Chain A
């Protein structure tokens, strides 16, 4: 792990972000879109690669535990399951459908030149700032509604992960034989989603080896909001509990490292922020390379409003649950985290609600 050198940690996360941005741009592997299209168009074709990403990540995490002794099931970024996790998933699910992307897909689409996603980005930053105002109340609810004593099923039942991986292999082989893992797209240098899924799993493992926990990024938005707010109303920021406390506490040798949403240089600044910048840069450079980068102007008003409102909900959902879909779907589910299961359950229902709302917002 690179926790001993913050600049090296930042560089590693920036490189992971670059690769992630490029891969996501080429494959257009939008985690929000995959779930939304199931409900909106009954399109299940990208669910299979998503499942591959989850199971392959699970396998790599299990392997990392065996080979490097990485105790990922007790990762510092995952806590016990609580009601805000479920409600956060629901709000997040609605928001990501309205915003046209989740925390990560907003970044790679914005990097490719889409202004609608830039509006979503502003909404997510704004929503994170709003959340800071209600944080103390949400934490009280969280403490009163803790569902589980353990953080993950892996702690209770260590063999569960291996069983899931082994049981999934015949399914993937069957899908591959039936040609259901391949989709047809005419975009230049299109990367098949199943290949993107493999790269995502590999990058998540790389993030774990660099920091000790799976990819997470939503706190970076809150940090950007905190820096902006600290410039405008520093006295108010100093009074907000959310910006003064640490959500991440890690022991590295004799040193205790901390990180949070506050406007300061800390562990989140050296991990999530370079990841965020890397994703934007990766997709931007890929779009330039493919001669596709161009800003086509603002979207129609209804879409712009949906993007901003959806962004607000995405941020509120992520902050309620203490993370976004990338953290919980690509990191939490492979670790069999109870909070991830609650979040994903809420997010699926939220995506269904969002898919019902979207045509009304766009056309009526």
Chain B
């Protein structure tokens, strides 16, 4: 599967934080980005976060972009999917 225009297929790391409380969402995501930074930076993987927390569509993209990652947000049914990919 190609994600965010990546030339090679990237492994998808799914992170389901549906129903979690604020601010655990951002803490959990930041921790995951930190743990997976080598895979994410190289473009070998991308992180797909599922959240129902509206403010996460502000905080996660802002934080990830500050770290230099590509970010996409889309609404899927009743929740949001945030894709964090390789460094720009």
On whether A307 and B21 interact (CB within 8 A), knowing A41-B26, A41-B63, the answer reads yes
Q: What sequence of 0s and 1s flags, for each residue 280-304 of chain A, a beta carbon within 8 Å of any chain B beta carbon?
A: 0000000000011111111110010
Instruction: Indicate which residue in A33, A101, A116, A120 contacts B19 across the interface (CB closer than 8 Å).
Output: A116
- Contact at A184–B55, with CB atoms within 8 Å? no
B88: interface (CB < 8 Å): no
**How far apart sit A28 and B60, CA to CA, in the bound complex (Å)?**
14
Instruction: Indicate which residue in B21, B26, B55, B78 contacts A28 across the interface (CB closer than 8 Å).
Output: B55
Give the residues in chain A near B79, CB-CB below 8 Å. Answer: 292, 294
Chain B 34-67 interface residues, beta-carbon cutoff 8 Å to A: 52-55, 57-59, 61-63
**How far apart sit A343 and B80, CA to CA, in the bound complex (Å)?**
36
A231: interface (CB < 8 Å): no
**How far apart sit A184 and B58, CA to CA, in the bound complex (Å)?**
6
The residue on A at minimum CB distance from B54 is A187
**How far apart sit A306 and B62, CA to CA, in the bound complex (Å)?**
26
A319: interface (CB < 8 Å): no
CB distance from B81 to the nearest CB of A (A): 10
- Contact at A184–B80, with CB atoms within 8 Å? no
**How far apart sit A185 and B53, CA to CA, in the bound complex (Å)?**
12
B22: interface (CB < 8 Å): yes
Instruction: Indicate which residue in A30, A185, A300, A363 contacts B22 across the interface (CB closer than 8 Å).
Output: A30
Tell me the count of chain A residues lying within 8 A, CB to CB, of chain B. 43
Instruction: Indicate which residue in A30, A188, A307 contacts B55 across the interface (CB closer than 8 Å).
Output: A30
B73: interface (CB < 8 Å): yes
Q: Which of A107-115, A127-135, A217-225 lies on the face that meets chain B?
A: A107-115
- Contact at B20–A300, with CB atoms within 8 Å? yes
**How far apart sit A139 and B3, CA to CA, in the bound complex (Å)?**
61
- Contact at A363–B55, with CB atoms within 8 Å? no
Query: Which of A117, A184, A187, A298: most chain B Cβ within 10 A?
Result: A187
B4: interface (CB < 8 Å): no
Instruction: Indicate which residue in B21, B59, B61, B63 contacts A100 across the interface (CB closer than 8 Å).
Output: B21
B6: interface (CB < 8 Å): no
**How far apart sit A298 and B62, CA to CA, in the bound complex (Å)?**
27
Chain A 174-203 interface residues, beta-carbon cutoff 8 Å to B: 183-188, 190
A43: interface (CB < 8 Å): yes
Give the residues in chain A near B73, CB-CB below 8 Å. Answer: 186
A40: interface (CB < 8 Å): yes
Give the residues in chain A near B55, CB-CB below 8 Å. Answer: 28, 30, 33, 185, 187
- Contact at B52–A113, with CB atoms within 8 Å? yes
**How far apart sit A299 and B53, CA to CA, in the bound complex (Å)?**
13
- Contact at A362–B54, with CB atoms within 8 Å? no
**How far apart sit A26 and B19, CA to CA, in the bound complex (Å)?**
17
A37: interface (CB < 8 Å): yes
- Contact at A114–B52, with CB atoms within 8 Å? yes
A36: interface (CB < 8 Å): yes
Give the residues in chain B near A358, CB-CB below 8 Å. Answer: 23, 27
Instruction: Indicate which residue in A109, A188, A299 contacts B75 across the interface (CB closer than 8 Å).
Output: A188
**How far apart sit A292 and B75, CA to CA, in the bound complex (Å)?**
10
CB distance from A102 to the nearest CB of B (A): 11
**How far apart sit A100 and B56, CA to CA, in the bound complex (Å)?**
13
Instruction: Indicate which residue in A37, A109, A185 contacts B23 across the interface (CB closer than 8 Å).
Output: A37
CB distance from B23 to the nearest CB of A (A): 6
**How far apart sit A103 and B53, CA to CA, in the bound complex (Å)?**
18
The residue on A at minimum CB distance from B72 is A186
Q: What sequence of 0s and 1s flags, for each residue 5-35 of chain B, a beta carbon within 8 Å of any chain A beta carbon?
A: 0000000000000111111101110010000
Give the residues in chain B near A117, CB-CB below 8 Å. Answer: 21
Give the residues in chain A near B61, CB-CB below 8 Å. Answer: 184, 186
Q: B residues touching A (Cβ–Cβ < 8 Å)?
A: 18-24, 26-28, 31, 52-55, 57-59, 61-63, 73, 75, 77-80
Interface pairs (7), CB distance under 8 Å: A100-B22, A114-B52, A292-B52, A292-B54, A295-B19, A299-B21, A307-B21
Q: A residues touching B (Cβ–Cβ < 8 Å)?
A: 25, 28, 30, 33, 36-37, 40-41, 43, 100-101, 109, 112-117, 120, 183-188, 190, 291-300, 303, 306-307, 358-359, 362-363
